[in-house]
Amino acid sequence: MSHAVNITLPDGSHRSVPAGTPVRAIAEGISPNLARARALAGLVDGKLVDLAYPLEQDASVRIVTDRSPEALALYRHSTAHLLAAAVTNLFPGAQCGIGPAIDEGFFYDFVVERPFVPEDLEAIEQKMKELASAGSVYERQMWPREEAMAFFAQRGEPLKVQLIEEKTGRPAGSLLLHDQGQGDRSSTSASARTCRRPAS
């Protein structure tokens, strides 16, 4: 039987929930509209986490919304992923490097057969809008480091393999984050952002 954990909200109120309850459920408990329309992430004991993050121990929880100070960085991070998805959809041979959010916006490194021209940028922007309106659902999974490296090697993505190899100080059994959407698979670590390849 799952034990209960005590959650403290910003207003000082407390809620007891079963261990493993996702942050999304806390948002739903506050307001269904909050969870459905405005919740972007959560802060658990000051750590930014996604809405699927399981609450395994007593913690303070704040729901991050579109009005929170953290929202802009989250939007930039998600838009970087969207850019990668659009580029790899339009240019199947494109290799993805890193794509972090930065103070001025975000960027993504690509290796492509030829430099992008203005017409390409217009097509990429249009594809981003198309993908954003599709409402695809992505979930976070955990993968062993070695399996993620083998996966990218098999897919012919040497940049991702290199980024994982360059990550130092990680024991052999350490884990990577993994996103999955519409049956497609791609992985990310702290230094290797996800490059999604949505179904055409």
Q: What is the CATH number of the domain that holds 9?
A: 3.10.20.30
| Interatomic CA distance for residues 116 and 9, integer angstroms | 47
Mean pLDDT of the chain: 81
Q: Are residues 92 and 138 part of one domain?
A: yes
Backbone angles phi, psi at 172, to 5 degrees: -60, -30
Q: Which of 95-99, 104-108, 180-184 has the highest mean pLDDT?
A: 104-108
Higher pLDDT pick, 31 / 172: 31
| Interatomic CA distance for residues 31 and 25, integer angstroms | 10
Q: What is the mean pLDDT of residues 91-112?
A: 88
**Percentage of the chain modeled with pLDDT above 90:** 48
Q: Is the pLDDT of residue 86 over 90?
A: yes
pLDDT at position 138? 65
Q: Which domain holds residue 24?
A: 4-65
pLDDT at position 199? 40
pLDDT digits (tens, 9 = 90+) for 132-176: 999 776 666 678 888 888 988 888 888 888 888 887 344 433 333
Residue that is last in its domain, among 29, 47, 65? 65
Q: What is the mean pLDDT of residues 66-74?
A: 93
Q: Is the pLDDT of residue 184 over 70?
A: no
pLDDT at position 17? 96
Alpha-carbon separation of residue 22 from 5, 25, 30, 143 (angstroms): 12, 6, 13, 19
Contact of 175 with 144, CB cutoff 8 Å: yes
Contact of 59 with 49, CB cutoff 8 Å: no
Q: Are residues 84 and 133 part of one domain?
A: yes
Q: Are residues 40 and 78 part of one domain?
A: no
| Interatomic CA distance for residues 46 and 148, integer angstroms | 29
Domain count, the chain: 2
pLDDT digits (tens, 9 = 90+) for 9-28: 999 999 999 999 999 999 99
Q: Considering the entire predicted model, what is its pTM?
A: 0.71
Residue that is last in its domain, among 22, 46, 65? 65
Q: Give the distance, in angstroms, between the CA of residue 122 and the centroid of all CA atoms in the same chain.
A: 25
pLDDT at position 139? 66
What is the per-residue DSSP string for 31-52? -HHIIIIIEEEEEETTEEE-TT
Q: How many residues does the chain have?
A: 200
Contact of 4 with 17, CB cutoff 8 Å: yes
Q: What is the mean pLDDT of residues 51-73?
A: 95
pLDDT at position 142? 73
Q: Is the pLDDT of residue 1 over 60?
A: no
| Interatomic CA distance for residues 106 and 117, integer angstroms | 20
Alpha-carbon separation of residue 168 from 113, 165, 190 (angstroms): 30, 8, 11
pLDDT at position 127? 96
Q: Are residues 157 and 143 part of one domain?
A: yes
